[in-house]
Structure 1
Amino acid sequence: MQTKKEKEDRENLKQTRNWTWMELFDHRFFAEVWKKDRRVVRTAVMLVIIFHFFSIGIVPSESMAPTLEPDDLVLYVNTKHVTRGDIVFFTYPLDEKLKYVKRIIGLPGDEVEVKNEAVYVNGDPLEEDYLLEQPLYTFDKATVPEGYYFVLGDNRNNSEDSTHWGFLKAENVNGKAIGVLLPFSKFKLFK
């Protein structure tokens, strides 16, 4: 049994708010909210969808110059499906707290090699118009294992990549870069 005081408290509570719990589950309440706050609801739904499929990453170093510069804000799609030439964000294999960004060069089963200031995939030199400069080092011929990728930075001579720590596990890939958001002067979308 409720005491008189409890009944009064309940009535006072009802008077201080403009809705009841029953109204919260009533379709008319949602219709009223939708009429008044369409922009807020639409924005909230849009943000949930965007951040489910997309993420934002910050370029941590000069290793992707000139394509990406340190502190560029990059939009990437959350996917594990990548192909040669894609720029990917991934969990650094030697420290899972760090996120790195590099370009996919070798796919599972590919033979990769760096020699004569060029990168070779399956015996053919890659045409790379995005490089800061040609690689001044060598990497012995190796086959990319199943479930792994061979990744390199566009700034080949200043990049800690697969030539240093080995092949990248496919499961470490967080997503594929689709464009630079900030700074506005560098805004662009990738092919």
Structure 2
Amino acid sequence: MEALAKLDLVGVVFALAAVTLLQLALRPSKARVLRLLSESCDSARWVLAVFFLLIRPFGAQAFYIPSPSMVPTLGVGDKLVVDKLSYRLHDPQRGDVIVFAAPARATDDNKEGTDFIKRCIGLPGETIEVRGARLRVGGETIGPENTDPRVHPAADYLRQRLELAADTPVRLTRDGAFVNHSWLPRKTLAHKLGVAERALVLEPGEVRINGKPLDEPYLNEDPGYDMPVTQIPPGHYFMMGDNRNNSADSHYWGLLERERMVGVARLTYFPLGRARKLP
């Protein structure tokens, strides 16, 4: 599937030529097995033609994930199948994981059309805002001072005070925090920080759509940065990586035009241990 998905017109021509030459070499043979192989070449030519002319441009295509921007939903090296037909029938929905041709401004080398994959968060006509996570410890506020998504002051503070690795996921709630996927109630967290429970205030980071917090259970870590209210015009979408603090997305390079979308990711097929249908 992946090899077929990567074939361009030249590749298909060479593949058809190879199949035809193989069939010509086998056709004079009277051996039953070789005759069957020759007949299989006819089927192979049809498969190549149908795939390239119909399925690849309009139906499905395989892609792989080159970066950690969609962790934990998709890992580096995951291979997935993208449905290219659905968006010919209906508009993208919030929560869709979408492959799209990124604008030049989104890439380090200013290259137009590089394949990106992000989650669709904001829809046309909506407003979107990002509120970074904050801690109040004994009257001191620890939170975002800029809009750089690589900086997460609240999570960095907890990682340092709890002597955790720099890449340990930390996600705040108002009642405690998930630290490396383990729940720490606010009382326990305050004890570990050496402060009274009443002196510890937790404000989780969140995305707000039309002023209302968006529920995002697929995240390992809440956003650590602020982004002011942005109005999304018709025909545009706000795309974000699930690895919210390690993703070059619409927060960096702006809104995505509808016509740049290639398709919606439906399932992963490799590694086999992670093969599954995507929500």
TM-score normalized with structure 1 length: 0.75
By how many angstroms is 1:45 displaced?
7.1
Pair 1:62 & 2:68 matched: yes
Unaligned runs of 5+ in 2: 1-24, 29-35, 105-110, 133-204
Where does 1:124-135 land on structure 2 (aligned, <5 Å)? 124-135=212-223
Q: Match of 1:86, as an amino acid?
A: D
Deviation at 1:182, TM superposition (A): 0.9
Matched, 1:89 2:89: no
Describe how 1:151-190 pairs up with structure 2 within 5 A: 151-190=239-278
* Aligned equivalent of 2:56, options 51, 66, 75: 51
Note the alpha carbon deviations across 1:13-33, whole angstroms, 9 max, x for none. xxx9x79xxxxxxxxxxxxx9
1:141 to 229, 245, 248: 229
Matches within 5 A, 1:31-42: 37=40, 40=44
Cα distance in 2 between the residues matched to 1:133 and 1:111:
22
* Aligned position for 1:99: 115
Q: Secondary structure at the match of 1:145?
A: coil
Deviation at 1:145, TM superposition (A): 1.1
Aligned partner (choices 67, 74, 82) of residue 80 of structure 2: 74
Question: 1:122-143 CA distances to partner (integer Å, 9 max, x unpaired)?
Answer: 1111111111200000110011
Contact 1:103 1:152 (C-alpha < 8 Å) held by counterparts: yes
CA contact (8 A) 2:220 2:243 kept: yes
For 1:187 and 1:51, how far apart are their aligned partners in 2?
21
Counterpart of 2:162 in structure 1 is none
CA distance in 2 between counterparts of 1:161 and 1:144 reads 15
Number of residues of Structure 1 aligned to a counterpart in Structure 2: 163
Quote the Cα distance in structure 2 between the aligned partners of 1:54 and 1:88. 13
Give the match's secondary structure for 1:171: helix
Query: What code does the residue aligned with 1:103 have?
Result: R
Residue 44 (structure 1) shift: 5.0
Greater alpha carbon shift after TM alignment, 80-89 vs 154-163: 80-89
The Cα shift of 1:97 comes to 4.0
Residue 83 of structure 1 deviates from its aligned partner by 0.6
Cα gap change, 1:50/1:184 in structure 2, threshold over 3 Å: closer, same or farther?
farther
Q: Which region of structure 1 is more displaced relative to structure 2, 40-49 or 86-95?
A: 40-49
* Alpha-carbon separation, structure 2, partners of 1:144 and 1:59: 27
Which residue does 2:211 correspond to in 1? 123
1:97, 1:60 → 2: CA distance? 15
8 Å CA contact retained: 1:60, 1:100: no
Instruction: Name the CA distance, whole Å, in 1 between partners of 2:259 and 2:224.
Output: 30
Which amino acid in 2 is paired with 1:104? C
Tell me which amino acid in the other structure corresponds to 1:183.
P
Aligned to 2:171: none
Counterpart code for 1:90: F
Q: What is the identity, as a one-letter code, of the residue corresponding to 1:92? A: A
Q: What CA deviation, in whole Å up to 9, does each residue of 1:135-187 have, x standing for no partner?
A: 00011001111111001000000000000000011111111000111111110
* Mapped partners of 2:123, 2:65: distance in 1: 23
Residue in structure 2 matched with residue 25 of structure 1 by the alignment: none
Deviation at 1:70, TM superposition (A): 1.3
Contact 2:103 2:113 in 1 (8 A): no
* Structure 2: distance between partners of 1:54 and 1:100: 16
Q: Percent identity?
A: 34
